[in-house]
């Protein structure tokens, strides 16, 4: 069972029902659940979107797009049905927050989906979970069935004449399906390859209808925002970054876990106070701040770094999915870079060439490097390939592979040079596991 | 429907599929879940499974294969009764996932994507399974086991030996 953690600095909004039995509908109602949906039903779409805009909530999947604005892009009149699509295909390495949301508070996702549906005028919402999360899908399906039994979902939700249906869906193993257009393809029973944009999903999305796609954490935040009011939620966070977010602390950290902290919380404090510091009291070498696709940061770069979309962006990285991966001084960065790029090479859907060929090329170069057979020119070549992948693919997977690679090469060039000319990995003596050399 | 097709899936799964194809605005949306649920019961996507899924959705077998080959959880050969999936992605790697993975290989005397001769276990190195904060983590079929060290491996294996196959719940 995933362990729940706690720290005094946490501001528990999304996680306030974790571990309280709220996966059961009676308990969820007892804890104030479904009041937000009822309120939204009475207030209407414009009020909901205004509250969402006031909350300053930005997409928790990684891109950080303002949620209220996204919802307002959906045309009011549409010949085709409109849809809400909840992205629970959580698969960015370093991120396991949605795992806990579906485990402890599936009704918050359902309630958030209803509210999103009311806001855009959709009658159907889909909740898509990655295939590996089967036990969480079962928990969610039970919660959906209970919500139907109570009349919270169906033809006449909460006794009104408004209809809203929720349909759950399982994936079957594919990181790429976390990209919104690939997600729609997968849900339509196809290979999960991205669509060209524009048109954007808000205009032409699932089954060709206008579609709002939000990350599961974004959707789970919605009922809480309605409960406490958009302005109050916004005030918890930092400038232009409303509220809290679930940070997944993992890697070489003393107390790993998912912590809910205000947006803008200092990264150094997050590692040393909240997470208890580097494991075994060792020295910090680097931090991946927002999931494996975000460029690595050095210890001196995190001193005064507030964890919100703008500040991390200014520091040359991204807040991404909030997956903070801590790396100690006994880790080989070349090996870490290789493991990162191996993932992207495995997950590239193959639809466009710069990503399909680029990830594979980078993996081969880094494999050779790690084995001690790199050439000095390889360092520049790795950088050249990565730079040429950037911005040249249909979806952000190409960037997600290129960005961290560029970060590793630029910030740890010396360590790459130490691997040249048949020299064994300088960290091998510390018992760092070696990858199989191809 | 001929008799071979009628016996391919259990009555329970067949009934589930009958509901599944009516669940979505477009029938084909049932494809990926059907393939996964069929694999859970049959063990892999055999030619017969692909043919029946195609027929139920009124699409070609080529369409089914085209989609099925995209998803990493779907397989076209049988795996062990308990498929052990060891995550070695970054968060797990930093906390010793390769040591855990090696211990599984030693205990089972099989390598990546291997199956034990008795067909009880198969082993696979997999990408991130979404248990980064409880690393290193593995999945045995759909069950998660987390915060592991190599010493946990023999106990996990003996726990599954002689146990009826779980149906996806923890």
* Residue of B17, B20, B99, B132 best to disrupt the A interface, most CBs of A under 10 A: B132
Same domain as A343, residue A216: no
CB-based contact (8 Å) between A350 and chain B? Answer: no
Query: Confidence class of residue A89 from pLDDT cuts 50, 70 and 90?
Result: very high
Query: Confidence class of residue B38 from pLDDT cuts 50, 70 and 90?
Result: very high
Contacts of B117 (CB under 8 A, 6+ apart): none
CATH number for position A423: 1.20.1440.230
Question: Has residue A255 been placed in a domain?
Answer: yes
Query: Confidence class of residue A325 from pLDDT cuts 50, 70 and 90?
Result: very high
CB-based contact (8 Å) between A270 and chain B? Answer: no
Distance CA A351, CA A185 (A): 13
Q: How many CB atoms lie within 10 A of CB B49?
A: 22
pLDDT at A427: 75
The token duo for B82 is 């308990």
Evaluate if residue A280 carries a pLDDT over 60. yes
Q: From the CA of B118, how many Å to the nearest CA of chain A?
A: 25
Distance CA A76, CA A6 (A): 43
**A181-199: average pLDDT:** 96
Same domain as A85, residue A224: yes
Evaluate if residue A437 carries a pLDDT over 60. no
Cβ A164 vs Cβ A158: under 8 Å:
no
pLDDT at A368: 86
Same domain as A199, residue A258: no
**A114-134: average pLDDT:** 98
Contacts across the A-B interface (CB distance below 8 Å): 162
DSSP string for residues in A20-33: TTTTSHHHHHHTTT
Count up the domains in chain A and report the number.
3
The token duo for A377 is 């020119």
Contact A174 B131 (CB under 8 A): no
The token duo for B162 is 């002689």
Same domain as A295, residue A209: no
Same domain as A276, residue A231: no
Q: Which strands, in side-by-side order, build the sheet including A83-88?
A: A165-170, A124-129, A83-88, A211-215
Per residue in A227-244, pLDDT (tens digit) is 999 999 999 999 999 999
The phi and psi torsions of A87 (rounded to 5 degrees) equal -90, 100
Q: Is A198 exposed, middle or buried (0-12, 13-18, 19+ CB in 10 A)?
A: exposed
Question: Has residue A315 been placed in a domain?
Answer: yes
B89 to chain A: which residues are within 8 Å by CB?
93, 292, 339, 343
pTM confidence score: 0.95
Same domain as A69, residue A215: yes
Average pLDDT, chain A: 95
Per residue in A288-324, pLDDT (tens digit) is 999 999 999 999 999 999 999 999 999 999 999 999 9
pLDDT at A426: 73
CB-based contact (8 Å) between A243 and chain B? Answer: no
Q: Is A63 exposed, middle or buried (0-12, 13-18, 19+ CB in 10 A)?
A: middle
A349 to chain B: which residues are within 8 Å by CB?
70
pLDDT at A433: 46
Contact A256 B135 (CB under 8 A): yes
Show which of A328, A349, A367 is a domain's final residue: A328
CB-based contact (8 Å) between A258 and chain B? Answer: yes
Same domain as A381, residue A324: no
The phi and psi torsions of A331 (rounded to 5 degrees) equal -95, 140
Same domain as A139, residue A56: yes
DSSP string for residues in chain B: --HHHHHHS-HHHHHHHHHHHHHSSSGGGGHHHHHHHHHHHHSS--HHHHHHHHHHHT--HHHHHHHHTT-TT--SS---SEEEEEE-SHHHHHTTHHHHHHHHHHHHT--TT-B-TTSSEEEEEES--S-GGG-S-EEETTEEE-S--GGGHHHHHHHHTTPPPP-S--
CATH number for position A102: 3.40.50.11540
Same domain as A274, residue A222: no
CB-based contact (8 Å) between B57 and chain A? Answer: yes
Distance CA A333, CA A413 (A): 10
End-to-end CA distance of chain B: 35
CB-based contact (8 Å) between A168 and chain B? Answer: no
Question: Has residue A44 been placed in a domain?
Answer: yes
Angle CA(A139)–CA(B91)–CA(A371) in degrees, nearest 5?
A: 140
Contacts of B12 (CB under 8 A, 6+ apart): none
| B168 backbone φψ class: left, alpha, beta (φ>0; ψ -120 to 50) | left
Q: From the CA of A281, how many Å to the nearest CA of chain B?
A: 15
Q: How many CB atoms lie within 10 A of CB A415?
A: 19
Question: Has residue A438 been placed in a domain?
Answer: no
Evaluate if residue B6 carries a pLDDT over 90. no
Q: From the CA of B93, how many Å to the nearest CA of chain A?
A: 8
End-to-end CA distance of chain A: 36
Domain interval for residue A36: 25-235
Same domain as A405, residue A287: no
Same domain as A419, residue A365: yes
Question: Has residue A436 been placed in a domain?
Answer: no
Evaluate if residue A69 carries a pLDDT over 70. yes
Question: Has residue A3 been placed in a domain?
Answer: no
Distance CA B81, CA B121 (A): 6
Query: Confidence class of residue A435 from pLDDT cuts 50, 70 and 90?
Result: low
Q: From the CA of A50, how many Å to the nearest CA of chain B?
A: 31
Show which of A199, A214, A235 is a domain's final residue: A235
Show which of A311, A328, A345 is a domain's final residue: A328
Per residue in A363-419, pLDDT (tens digit) is 999 988 888 788 889 999 999 999 999 999 999 999 999 999 999 999 999 999 988
CB-based contact (8 Å) between B31 and chain A? Answer: yes
Complex ipTM value: 0.95
Contacts of A20 (CB under 8 A, 6+ apart): A27, A31, A104
Average pLDDT, chain B: 93
Which of B 119-148 lie inside 8 A of A, CB atoms? 127-135, 139, 142-144, 146-147
The token duo for A158 is 């909460």
B147 to chain A: which residues are within 8 Å by CB?
3
**B125-139: average pLDDT:** 98
Question: Has residue A159 been placed in a domain?
Answer: yes
Chain A residue with the nearest C-alpha to that of B166: A135
Residue predicted with more confidence, A402 or A427: A402
Evaluate if residue A213 carries a pLDDT over 60. yes
The answer to which of A97-101, A344-348, B1-5, B17-21 has the lowest mean pLDDT is B1-5
Query: Confidence class of residue B166 from pLDDT cuts 50, 70 and 90?
Result: low
pLDDT at B164: 62
Question: Has residue A437 been placed in a domain?
Answer: no
Q: From the CA of B5, how many Å to the nearest CA of chain A?
A: 22
CATH number for position A310: 3.10.20.600
Per residue in A238-278, pLDDT (tens digit) is 999 999 999 999 999 999 999 999 999 999 999 999 999 99
pLDDT at B170: 37
Cβ A180 vs Cβ A214: under 8 Å:
no
Contact A96 B99 (CB under 8 A): no
pLDDT at B7: 72
Same domain as A203, residue A250: no
Contact B91 A251 (CB under 8 A): yes
Per residue in B75-119, pLDDT (tens digit) is 999 999 999 999 999 999 999 999 999 999 999 999 999 999 999
Which of A 356-415 lie inside 8 A of B, CB atoms? none
């Amino acid at each position: 069972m995933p362990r729940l953690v706690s720290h005094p600095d946490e501001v528990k909004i999304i996680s306030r029902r974790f571990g309280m039995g709220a996966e059961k509908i009676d308990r969820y109602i007892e804890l104030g659940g479904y009041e937000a949906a009822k309120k939204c039903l009475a207030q209407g779409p414009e009020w909901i979107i205004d509250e969402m805009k006031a909350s300053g909530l930005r997409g928790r999947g990684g891109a950080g797009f303002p949620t209220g604005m996204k919802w307002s892009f959906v045309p009011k009149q549409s010949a085709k049905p409109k849809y809400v699509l909840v992205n629970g295909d959580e698969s960015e390495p370093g991120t396991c927050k949605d795992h806990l949301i579906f485990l402890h508070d599936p009704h918050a996702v359902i309630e958030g989906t209803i509210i999103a549906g009311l806001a855009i005028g959709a009658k159907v919402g889909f909740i898509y979970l990655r295939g590996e999360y089967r036990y969480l899908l079962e928990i969610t399906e039970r919660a959906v069935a209970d919500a139907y039994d109570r009349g919270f979902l169906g033809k006449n939700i909460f006794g009104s004449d408004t209809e809203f249906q929720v349909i759950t869906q399982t994936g079957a193993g594919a990181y790429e399906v976390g990209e919104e257009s690939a997600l729609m393809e997968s849900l339509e029973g196809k290979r999960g390859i991205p669509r060209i944009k524009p048109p954007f999903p808000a205009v032409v999305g699932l089954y060709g209808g206008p579609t709002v796609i939000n990350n599961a954490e974004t959707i789970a935040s919605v009922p809480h925002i309605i409960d406490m009011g958009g302005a109050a939620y916004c005030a918890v966070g930092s400038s232009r970054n409303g509220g809290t977010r679930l940070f997944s602390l993992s890697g070489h950290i003393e107390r790993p876990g998912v912590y809910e902290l205000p947006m803008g919380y200092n990264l150094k404090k997050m590692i040393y106070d909240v997470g208890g510091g580097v494991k075994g009291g060792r020295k910090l070498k680097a931090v991946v701040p927002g999931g494996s696709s975000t460029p690595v940061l050095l210890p001196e770069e995190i001193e005064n770094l507030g964890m919100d979309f703008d500040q991390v962006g200014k520091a040359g990285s991204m807040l991404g999915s909030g997956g903070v991966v801590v790396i100690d001084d006994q880790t080989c960065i070349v090996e870490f870079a290789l493991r990162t790029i191996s993932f992207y090479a495995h997950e590239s859907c193959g639809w466009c060439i710069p990503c399909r060929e680029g990830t594979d090329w980078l993996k081969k170069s880094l494999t050779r490097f790690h084995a001690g057979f790199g050439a000095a020119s390889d360092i520049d070549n790795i950088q050249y390939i990565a730079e040429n992948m950037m911005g040249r693919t249909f979806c952000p997977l190409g960037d997600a592979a290129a960005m961290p690679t560029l970060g590793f090469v630029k910030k740890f060039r010396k360590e790459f040079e130490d691997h040249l000319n048949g020299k064994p990995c300088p960290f091998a003596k510390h018992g760092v596991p070696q990858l199989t050399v191809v | 429907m001929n008799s071979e097709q009628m016996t391919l899936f259990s009555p329970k799964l067949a009934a589930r599929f009958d509901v599944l194809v009516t669940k979505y605005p477009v029938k084909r949306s049932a494809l990926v879940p059907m393939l996964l649920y069929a694999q859970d019961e049959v063990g892999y996507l055999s030619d017969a499974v692909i043919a029946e899924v195609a027929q139920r959705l009124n699409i070609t077998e080529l369409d089914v294969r085209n989609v099925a080959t995209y998803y990493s959880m779907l397989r076209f050969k049988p795996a062990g009764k308990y498929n052990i999936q060891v995550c070695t992605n970054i968060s797990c790697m930093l906390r010793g996932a390769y040591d855990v993975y090696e211990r599984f290989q030693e205990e089972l005397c099989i390598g990546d994507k291997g199956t034990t001769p008795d067909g009880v276990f198969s082993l696979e190195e997999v990408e991130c399974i979404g248990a980064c904060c409880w690393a290193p983590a593995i999945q045995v079929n759909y069950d998660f086991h987390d915060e592991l060290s190599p010493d946990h491996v023999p106990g996990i294996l003996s726990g599954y030996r002689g146990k009826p196959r779980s149906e996806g719940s923890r």
